[in-house]
Amino acid sequence: MIRARSLKLPAELAAVFTLSTLATACGKPWQVVTQAQPSPMVNVRQYSVQPIVMDGLIVGDEPEAAWLAERDAEQRAAWVEDKKELDSGFRLKLVEAMQEHGMQIVPQGPFQLWPRIEYVEPGYYVGVSAGASETRLRLRITTAAGQVVDEITVKSSTGGGMTCPSISCRLSSDAENLADYVAEYIAIRAGLEEE
């Protein structure tokens, strides 16, 4: 493993680098819940994606409503915007990531992607101390008729620090990572990438 000191990176950047390296070095960043065998997605290159659902979201160690109750009006408004950015950032990056694997997001594809954010640890940065975010997504892939063919859970973490001091920054980074991981998983299931 490369040490951050040898690269002369600021500690915050080294933390982000370390977290992303660990996510990929320790195996795939997803866990399979259910998976149709053989894959019905082989050679399928078009998929539709639904907006991210965040009902029942757990933030930190409590339900979102309880977490929000501890925040002021400005923080609650920022959280609403952060969640919108999480959804739009995920969807925009997913379009790009799917194209990189030779696939497309289309309005009506033979398979539907149903992303659901179940957990967010927003992380923090307070100058001398920082904590990483963690965002967990559950993805169901269904046929156009609604039959579940695959379901996975995926997670991403982004280090807190000077390079990514805000919740918005960390969640945007997590959204992009999650989209990359989802696209990679689908490319493997479509037979376009090797596992």
Is the pLDDT score of 2 beyond 50? no
User: Is residue 195, in this structure, part of any structural domain at all?
Assistant: no
Query: In angstroms, rounded to a whole number, what is the distance separating the alpha carbons of residues 40 and 72?
Result: 48
80-112 b/e (C-beta count within 10 Å ≥ 16 → b): eebbebbbebbbebbbebbeebebebeeebebb
Query: DSSP states of 157-170 as a string?
Result: EE--BTTB-SHHHH
For residues 166-187, average pLDDT: 96
User: Is residue 140, in this structure, part of any structural domain at all?
Assistant: yes
Torsion sign over Cα 80, 155, 90, 38: negative
User: Is residue 7, in this structure, part of any structural domain at all?
Assistant: no
For residues 147-161, average pLDDT: 95
Cα–Cα distance list, 108 to 40, 43, 46, 157 (Å) = 17, 17, 8, 31
Mean of pLDDT over the chain: 88
pLDDT tens digit sequence for 46-77: 999 999 999 999 999 999 999 999 999 999 99
User: Is residue 9, in this structure, part of any structural domain at all?
Assistant: no
Q: How many domains does the chain have?
A: 1
Instruction: Give the structural domain span for 85.
Output: 28-189
129: domain CATH number is 3.30.160.150
What integer pLDDT is reported at residue 12 of this predicted model? 44
What integer pLDDT is reported at residue 172 of this predicted model? 95
User: Is residue 122, in this structure, part of any structural domain at all?
Assistant: yes
Place of tokens 């907006």: 51
User: Is residue 15, in this structure, part of any structural domain at all?
Assistant: no
User: Is residue 8, in this structure, part of any structural domain at all?
Assistant: no
For residues 112-141, average pLDDT: 95
User: Is residue 70, in this structure, part of any structural domain at all?
Assistant: yes
